[in-house]
Amino acid sequence: MKSIPTTALLSLLAVGSLAATTLQPDAEAQKKLTPDSVLEDLMAGNERYVEGKLSDPNVLPRVKKAVEGQFPKAYILSCVDSRVPVEQVFDQGIGDIFVGRVAGNVEGVDQLGSMEFASKVAGVKLVMVLGHEACGAVKGACDHVKMGNLTELLDEITPAVESVEGHEDRSSKNKEFVDEVIEANVRKTIADLRERSEVLAELEKDGAIKIVGGVYSLHDGKVTLLD
């Protein structure tokens, strides 16, 4: 039997190790995660995304492993905007995160129930509300748009619009005003999650999860966490 040179063997081992680390978490790996470690992982992934150095998605091995169950790290509530590809933004793959999407990243009972399942049953450690620059739903709320069912959805953003002060031009034409409303809307959604869901509030109180907010830049892809 032909022997494998040491350098070649080390290379093979390194490749195998890399492949293993790019698989989604299993039950054992999920148990070792903490809210802080998951947040660090997501933000490190965002740095790779901004630099254009995304990890190998390892699609086929992940698809095969997915039949064994799911043990994701986080739940991210994002806007439906097609310019914000959430999994890619944080360099995550199949089985890594839950993603809930709705215009204006607002919470309804469907999102609340989904987050409660993800946190209490499926074991995620982090819930993130992700707003984004130039959000059309926020702009619509600023301009008091009325259109079918969209009217009721935009009404949920209105309190964030009203909370922002110090602007004469309170329309979508005022970028600074819109930017402030986007942040206010993320903060409002976070507050609503804690107020409307006893399950999430209790899990956060116990340190089992962390609820955070961030805003995605369309210009460079960077996610900025809100204090």
Q: Within a domain: residue 15?
A: no
Q: Within a domain: residue 18?
A: no
* Domain CATH for 117: 3.40.1050.10
Q: Within a domain: residue 75?
A: yes
Q: Within a domain: residue 105?
A: yes
Beta bridge partners of 101: 78
Q: Within a domain: residue 12?
A: no
Number of structural domains, the chain? 1
Tens of pLDDT along the chain (227 residues) come to: 445 455 444 433 333 333 335 899 999 999 999 999 999 999 999 999 999 999 999 999 999 999 999 999 999 999 999 999 999 999 999 999 999 999 999 999 999 999 999 999 999 999 999 999 999 999 999 999 999 999 999 999 999 999 999 999 999 999 999 999 999 999 999 999 999 999 999 999 999 999 999 999 999 999 999 98
| Three-state secondary structure call for residue 110 | helix
Please answer whether residues 43 and 223 qualify as being in contact, where contact means their C-beta atoms are separated by less than 8 angstroms. Answer: yes
Please answer whether residues 120 and 203 qualify as being in contact, where contact means their C-beta atoms are separated by less than 8 angstroms. Answer: yes
Q: For position 21, what pLDDT does the model report?
A: 52
Q: For position 10, what pLDDT does the model report?
A: 42
End-to-end CA distance of the chain: 61
Closest CA to 130 of 83, 94, 198: 83
Q: Within a domain: residue 214?
A: yes
| Three-state secondary structure call for residue 99 | strand
Distance CA 121, CA 27 (A): 12
Q: Within a domain: residue 16?
A: no
Supply the DSSP symbol for 125. S
| Three-state secondary structure call for residue 70 | coil
Domain with 185 in it: 25-225
Q: Within a domain: residue 60?
A: yes
